[in-house]
């Protein structure tokens, strides 16, 4: 964490952000942002939300080197794109950025090496503005982290919507497995994310080995899947007694659990509902609305297609939308839900189809981006 006090640093930061936002297209090395001894080149605004803006960027030194390369061959000889840049610069209020930095560092220390790829960890935090003697007076927080070059899960959903189609049910199961895997690890590490949604899930498509998918993630499948971002609303459960419960509302329409809507206390229901809402977006291409049906259970209003595996989806939504208020040291068994989907995909021999669908999806998204930039 680095502190850069003074109004002049705030003014320079805001000017750089305004300049890159004014651009109509992505560009290399045009807008420089210098914070102390760290320099970044901002190429485009990648996203904007209620609390933050995110910019695609590179380390300035990497951008200068890439510009000096006379050919793709010389650039290739120097190393991979991941070695030279590929950053996301997230700008928000200083308190939100500071908390995201703190909880991310705690989470990184708790998750295993196997589970770590399911979370995107910031590599630097810059606190900007405020009085020289007190970092707590900073105005802006600038978090720097790896950039997801394949976009977010929301980008994937949009790629289908823009051509009037929906994701294949088999691919939805694959992403549900990866989401459940990531959330299982985060909960086991004693953290509630509290803001799970397609915008906050980075798509990982690393590795060149497109062998058939299998539950044990052979070959490069360890480099594929989803990774969680944005821990600004996260709750570190280690700070509370195990029998504590929470009240409050995330106020994100479609991602509020029944307990929030009804003014009741909750624990893991917050994340469980958001997992369900995210998968609902994949299945239906729209936000989830719910109601209570027979037995008082919460169900999505949107009906399932008759040709889907309705037994699996009914069980999934029942578990995720009707979770009990658990102790903080007793996270929900998301692994059980994950293994149900894994067992079905394996028993039906759908590993080759997942590979083919994901490859085609990647190609289609690339072509859409290429046409948009043409």
Residue 246 and residue 111 in one domain: no
CATH label of the domain that carries residue 110: 3.30.200.20
Which segment, 42-51, 105-114, 250-259, is predicted with the most confidence on average?
105-114
Q: What was the pLDDT predicted at 80?
A: 40
Residue 196 and residue 272 in one domain: yes
Mean confidence (pLDDT) of the chain: 90
Residue 102 and residue 251 in one domain: no
Residue 114 and residue 180 in one domain: no
Phi, psi torsion values for 162, nearest 5 degrees? -70, -15
Least confident of 58-62, 121-125, 251-255: 58-62
Cα–Cα distance between 327 and 245 in angstroms, integer? 8
Residue 279 and residue 326 in one domain: yes
Q: How confident is the model at residue 66 (pLDDT cuts 50, 70, 90)?
A: low
Residue that finishes a domain, picked among 89, 118, 146: 146
Instruction: Taking each helix axis as running N to C, give the angle between helix 310-321 and helix 334-347, from 0 to 180 degrees, rounded to the nearest 10.
Output: 170
Residue 278 and residue 349 in one domain: yes
Residue 55 and residue 189 in one domain: no
Q: Tokens 């658990």 correspond to what residue?
A: 326
Domain tally, the chain: 2
Is the per-residue pLDDT at 84 higher than 90? Answer: no
Residue 332 and residue 281 in one domain: yes
Q: What was the pLDDT predicted at 71?
A: 46
Q: How confident is the model at residue 82 (pLDDT cuts 50, 70, 90)?
A: very low
Q: What was the pLDDT predicted at 49?
A: 82
Residue 176 and residue 325 in one domain: yes
- Which residues is 3 bridged to in the sheet? 127
- DSSP string of 209-277? --PPP-TT--GGGGGEEEEE---TT-EEGGGS-TT--B------TT---HHHHTT--BSTHHHHHHHHH
> CB-hemisphere CA count at 13 Å for 283?
24
Q: Percent of the chain scored above 70 by pLDDT?
A: 91
User: Chain-centre distance of CA 268, in angstroms?
Assistant: 18
Tokens of 106: 């705690």
Is the per-residue pLDDT at 295 higher than 80? Answer: no
Q: What was the pLDDT predicted at 370?
A: 85
Cα–Cα distance between 104 and 28 in angstroms, integer? 29
Residue 88 and residue 178 in one domain: no
Q: What are the tens digits of pLDDT across the range 233-291? A: 999 999 999 999 999 998 888 899 999 999 999 999 999 999 999 999 999 999 999 99
More confident residue, 108 or 66: 108
Q: What was the pLDDT predicted at 67?
A: 55
Tokens of 294: 């027979």
Q: What was the pLDDT predicted at 364?
A: 94
What mean pLDDT is predicted for residues 65-69?
53
Check: CB of residue 207 under 8 Å from CB of residue 224.
yes
Is the per-residue pLDDT at 297 higher than 70? Answer: yes
Least confident of 65-69, 81-85, 336-340: 81-85
Supply the residues annotated as catalytic.
195
Is the per-residue pLDDT at 213 higher than 50? Answer: yes
Residue 212 and residue 344 in one domain: yes
- Produce one character per residue of 213-229: b if its CB has 16 or more CB atoms within 10 Å, e if not: beeebeeebeebbbbbb
CATH label of the domain that carries residue 280: 1.10.510.10
pTM for the whole thing?
Answer: 0.91
Name the residue range of residue 22's domain.
2-146
More confident residue, 21 or 172: 172
Is the per-residue pLDDT at 75 higher than 90? Answer: no
Is the per-residue pLDDT at 160 higher than 50? Answer: yes
Residue 205 and residue 336 in one domain: yes
Q: What pairing do the DSSP bridges indicate for beta strands 191-192 and 298-300?
A: unpaired
Q: What was the pLDDT predicted at 85?
A: 53
- CB proximity list for 249: less than 8 A, separation 6 or greater: 256, 260, 261
Cα–Cα distance between 367 and 372 in angstroms, integer? 9
Least confident of 13-27, 220-234, 277-291: 13-27
Check: CB of residue 31 under 8 Å from CB of residue 16.
yes
Cα–Cα distance between 294 and 314 in angstroms, integer? 14
Q: How confident is the model at residue 307 (pLDDT cuts 50, 70, 90)?
A: very high
Residue that finishes a domain, picked among 146, 177, 210: 146
What mean pLDDT is predicted for residues 37-49?
90
């Amino acid at each position: 964490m680095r502190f850069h006090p003074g109004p002049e640093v705030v003014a320079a930061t805001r000017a750089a952000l305004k300049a890159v936002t004014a651009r109509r297209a992505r560009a290399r090395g045009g807008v420089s942002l210098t914070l102390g001894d760290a320099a970044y080149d901002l190429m485009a605004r990648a996203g904007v939300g209620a609390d933050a803006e995110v910019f695609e960027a590179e380390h300035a030194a990497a951008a200068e080197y890439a510009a000096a390369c006379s050919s793709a061959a010389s650039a290739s000889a120097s190393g991979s794109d991941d070695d030279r840049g590929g950053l996301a610069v997230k700008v928000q209020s200083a308190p939100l950025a500071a908390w995201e930095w703190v909880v991310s560092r705690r989470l990184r220390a708790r998750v295993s090496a196997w589970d770590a790829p399911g979370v995107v960890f910031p590599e630097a935090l810059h606190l900007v503005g405020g009085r020289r003697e007190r970092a707590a007076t900073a105005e802006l927080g600038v978090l720097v982290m790896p950039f997801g070059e394949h976009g977010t899960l929301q980008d994937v959903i949009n790629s289908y919507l823009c051509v009037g189609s929906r994701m294949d049910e088999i691919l939805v199961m694959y992403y549900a497995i990866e989401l459940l895997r990531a959330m299982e690890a985060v909960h086991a590490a004693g953290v509630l994310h509290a803001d799970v949604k397609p915008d906050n899930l980075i798509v990982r498509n690393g590795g060149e080995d497109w062998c058939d998918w299998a539950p044990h993630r052979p070959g490069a499948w360890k480099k594929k899947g989803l990774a969680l971002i944005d821990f600004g609303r996260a709750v570190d459960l280690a700070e509370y007694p195990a029998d504590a419960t929470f009240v409050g509302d995330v106020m994100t329409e479609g991602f509020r659990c029944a307990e929030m809507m009804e003014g009741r206390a909750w624990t893991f229901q917050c994340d469980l509902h958001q997992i369900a809402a995210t998968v609902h977006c994949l299945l239906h291409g729209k936000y989830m609305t719910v109601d209570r049906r027979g037995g008082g259970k919460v169900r999505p209003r949107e009906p399932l297609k008759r040709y889907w595996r309705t037994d699996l989806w009914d069980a999934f939504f029942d578990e995720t939308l009707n979770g009990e208020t658990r102790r903080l040291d007793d996270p929900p068994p998301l692994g059980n839900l994950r293994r149900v989907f894994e067992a079905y995909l394996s028993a039906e021999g759908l590993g080759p189809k997942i590979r083919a669908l994901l490859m085609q999806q990647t190609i289609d998204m690339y072509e859409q981006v290429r046409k948009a930039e043409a």
